[in-house]
Chains A and B, each alone.
Chain A
Amino acid sequence: MSLGGSDKHITTDVLVIGGGMAGLCAAIKAKEQGIDVTLVEKGHAGKTSGIRAFHGDYKVFDPEKGHKLEDWMEQVNRGGEYLNNQDWSEIVIRESYDRYKELVSWGVEFYPLDKMPPTPPWETMAHLSMVKGQFLPALRKKVADIGVNVVDRIMACELIKQDGKVVGVLGFHTTSGDLYTFQAKATVIATGGSSLKLGHRPHNSWTADGEVMAYRAGAEISGKEFTVAGQMPFRAGAEITGRDFTFGQMLSRSDAWAQQQTDEATGGAWKEVDSLYRFPRFGYALIPPVMPIINAEGGPVIDPGWEAHCGRIPLYAYVENLNPLLINYIQHVYRKPGTTDTDEEGLEIIKGGKLKFKLGNNDDLVNVFGGAGIWPINTECASGVPGLYAAGVCCATMASGTTYPGPGYGLTHGAVTGARAALGAARYAMGSKKTAIKEIELNRIKEIVCASVERKSGFSPGWITQIVHSITVPYFYLQIKHGERLQAALTLMEFVNSHLVPKIKATDAHQWRMAIEAKNMALDAEIRLRASLFRIESRGTHFREDYPRRDDPAWLAWVKVKDEQGKMKVSKEPIPEKWWPDLSEPYEKRYPRAFPNE
């Protein structure tokens, strides 16, 4: 049935899918419990993770350094617009230090404080930085040393369920084409984010594989209406990916604070810019948002994307009298690849004056780290499906809420959830008997996985990907949203999923992977559209042109998507009242950031 010569069968106690931060940490932690652990990765574990292109920022909460839990929680709660699960936020913050010590003991090196990238002026939560290019290989080495069975270039495709429990995974080797059956007592999904392969960041391997696999097996998916605004220049190289400024990082700051920052940045020359700091989306800017921006008509800018939507482009930034902290930061961010020299664009900014904004590159539409994916039913990262756990970016702990709280939170979340999922999965595995996978069920799953290589004719994975892009990339679908447009896109995406996806054809093992990825992305896109249509309010990184205000308390709730007999069911999960903002506060005070036309 497969493209390869033989079928392989591997039996293990705990199977970890994904060889990035969360997956590697989970594998080590599970192995430390004295059980069999296998880790599979569709790339090469420790080398190809989507996180490799980023600085290894890592949040470390250390009360001995004077860090106050309430300050950190305040930043996450406000930034996440009260859609964060505060139990999880606290877990991530509190356990960051223990995980940090553990990482060091596993051979991960951290930069000394004087070699740290400068902290952005708007950041209150402290972070350290792992040595770039060292931390993932170090974890891979530890994984191998401790005796985890690592299998690279395995595209995990479908979970195998028996008697309501996940008992294994079916995948294939993307070079040999051999089918691989993994029989596991417990499975940890750590497949990273979902980015719809937009190509503007090196995130193309994030095709929501784990999330949709879990969805198809009956798990609940949440947080899909929110996306981290990201903006990358075309040369999205590993050395320059720090350039992801977004308005979303301007968190939990009052207008007074914004004005103060602006005054410092501009020497008080720019006064009417408060709205600039109040909208958390899109991040088209390649310039730190502490610089005042005006639109083509000379008016203030709430959000560059909105200005473009209204036809008021190009945009201009005024840069005068930058303070040393900002100059330091710009020098760090605008670097020539592989050097510490500031690039031409950075020099241009530091020089000051009126700068034309770069618009046009699209977001990568990546979901919020720590705010989207497989819904955990407990603090052990168990999904609702017995035997299935999730860790890292694909685990919707909602520790973040509507947007990303700041540098390092994602990797810390990966380490914390990796450890928790591993302990949960290990305990579950130790209490379970080995379950033989029934032939009839295995054959059913094999038919699904091999469908694209069995076909004599059909659509190429590349073409399907293009079609998915046509329905998700234009800004007026998933960035500036409107019910009518979302419905139109959803209608098309339903057609893609029901009619085009079943006819994808793959010609070799590489294309087979691309075919599975295209299928996963198409389902992921439909989940995003449904979640966006369902939330009839604006909040954080979810902006509805037709509902431009937050709606408390009706939408102090999470949106969950679940498969029910082949249909996508969307529901609301109310947020406990103890985590609500103070509703007696005026709206503007509760939510310092404004939406256009709110």
Chain B
Amino acid sequence: MSIERIDVDLCTGCGICVDSCPMDVIRMDEKGEKAIIKYPEDCMLCLFCEFDCPVNAIYVSPELKVRPILSWG
């Protein structure tokens, strides 16, 4: 589903992906050292983070998880 992982070993904590995300899905961890996927349910699969990551640490899967149209809540 959408954004799948940010490789902890590769991530340099530069924060570029945090800025790149239009939907505020990615944040820095509490120590401010690594980027984490905080709100995956709001990923819209634009791939900006994957394109912008200078060390290729992000993988976005091609499958977009779409919520069912009808919902019982």
Contact = CB atoms under 8 A, between A and B. Distances in A.
A459 B73 CA distance: 9
Among B22, B41, B51, the one with the most A-chain Cβ atoms within 10 Å of its Cβ is B22
B64 A199 contact: yes
Given A43-B22, A48-B22, A153-B24, A474 B69 contact: yes
Contacts of B39: 510
B21 A48 contact: yes
B46 A466 contact: no
A239 B51 CA distance: 9
Interface in A230-285: 234-239
Contacts of B71: 463, 466-467, 470
B66 to A, nearest CB: 6
B20 A47 contact: yes
Contact of B41 (A48, A152, A202, A462): A462
Interface string B30-73: 00000000110110111110011000000000111011111101
Place the interface of chain B in its size category: 20 to 34
A165 interface: no
A238 B22 CA distance: 13
Contacts of B68: 466
A49 B21 CA distance: 10
A48 B69 contact: no
Nearest to B27: A175
A470 B70 contact: yes
A514 interface: yes
A101 to B, nearest CB: 29
Contacts of B4: none
Given A43-B22, A466-B68, A234 B73 contact: no
B37 to A, nearest CB: 12
Interface string A196-234: 010110111100000000000000000000000000001
A459 B71 CA distance: 13
B20 A204 contact: no
Nearest to A53: B46
A174 interface: yes
Contacts of A239: 47, 51
A238 B24 contact: no
B45 A199 contact: yes
A237 B24 contact: no
Given A510-B24, A510-B39, A463 B45 contact: no
A237 B46 contact: yes
Place the interface of chain A in its size category: 35 or more
Contact of A470 (B42, B48, B63, B69): B69
A153 B47 CA distance: 19
A202 B73 contact: no
B24 A235 contact: no
Contacts of B52: 47
Contact of A237 (B22, B38, B45): B45
A43 B46 contact: no
B29 interface: no
Contacts of A52: 46, 48
A390 to B, nearest CB: 21
B11 interface: no
A44 interface: yes
Interface in A318-356: 337-338
B69 A473 contact: yes
A510 B22 CA distance: 12
A416 to B, nearest CB: 24
Contacts of A514: 42
A43 B21 contact: yes
A270 to B, nearest CB: 34
A205 B67 contact: no
A485 interface: no
A21 B8 CA distance: 34
Contact of A236 (B38, B45, B51, B73): B45
Given A199-B66, A510-B24, A337 B47 contact: yes
Contacts of B62: 234-235
Nearest to A200: B64
Contacts of B63: 234
Among B24, B27, B38, B39, the one with the most A-chain Cβ atoms within 10 Å of its Cβ is B24
B44 A199 contact: yes
A513 interface: yes
Nearest to A50: B22
Contacts of B69: 466, 469-470, 473-474
Given A463-B71, A469-B69, A235 B22 contact: no
Among A49, A205, A473, the one with the most B-chain Cβ atoms within 10 Å of its Cβ is A205
A360 to B, nearest CB: 12
B43 to A, nearest CB: 9
A518 to B, nearest CB: 11
A470 B67 CA distance: 10
A502 B1 CA distance: 31
14 contacts: A44-B20, A47-B48, A48-B19, A53-B46, A174-B24, A202-B45, A204-B42, A235-B62, A238-B47, A466-B68, A469-B69, A474-B69, A510-B39, A513-B24
Given A202-B48, A462-B67, 13 more contacts: A43-B22, A50-B22, A52-B48, A153-B24, A204-B42, A205-B22, A235-B62, A236-B45, A238-B46, A238-B47, A238-B51, A239-B51, A470-B70
Interface of B: 19-24, 27, 38-39, 41-42, 44-48, 51-52, 62-64, 66-71, 73
9 closest Cβ contacts across the A-B interface?
A: A202-B46, A48-B22, A204-B44, A235-B62, A44-B19, A237-B47, A466-B71, A205-B22, A43-B22
